[in-house]
Amino acid sequence: MKKLLSATYVGDFQILLIYEGEKPRIFDFRPMLKKQLGDFVNLKDEEVFKQFKILEGWNTLEWQNGYDIAPETLYETSIPTSLTKVI
């Protein structure tokens, strides 16, 4: 898997992912909102959700509450997009 270079919130619980040498991808978190998030239920708050960062060395995202997504899940459930930046 290529290195995750950037991740930008685009709205509606979706994140634009830029991987090294790959086409941009969109990760849609909305299906996960329907699952039991346990201690991380506050991710259903869009303001909280937007506060993520790239977890250095792990090639994935992490939120302030400690929630992260497996790098494989992040990549494999995201889809290629023609979007390259957020205005």
The pLDDT tens digits for 28-86 are 999 988 888 788 889 999 999 999 999 988 999 999 999 999 999 999 999 999 987 66
Residue environment code for 36-65, b if the CB has 16+ CB neighbours within 10 A, otherwise e: eeeeeeebeeeebbeebebeeeebbbebee
pLDDT higher than threshold 70 for residue 4: yes
- Cα–Cα separations (whole angstroms), residue 48 to 19, 22, 42, 67: 24, 28, 7, 11
CATH number for the segment(s) 4-80? 3.30.2020.10
Domain boundaries, the chain: 4-80
DSSP-based three-state secondary structure for 67: coil
Task: Report pTM.
Answer: 0.90
d(CA 76, CA 18): 14
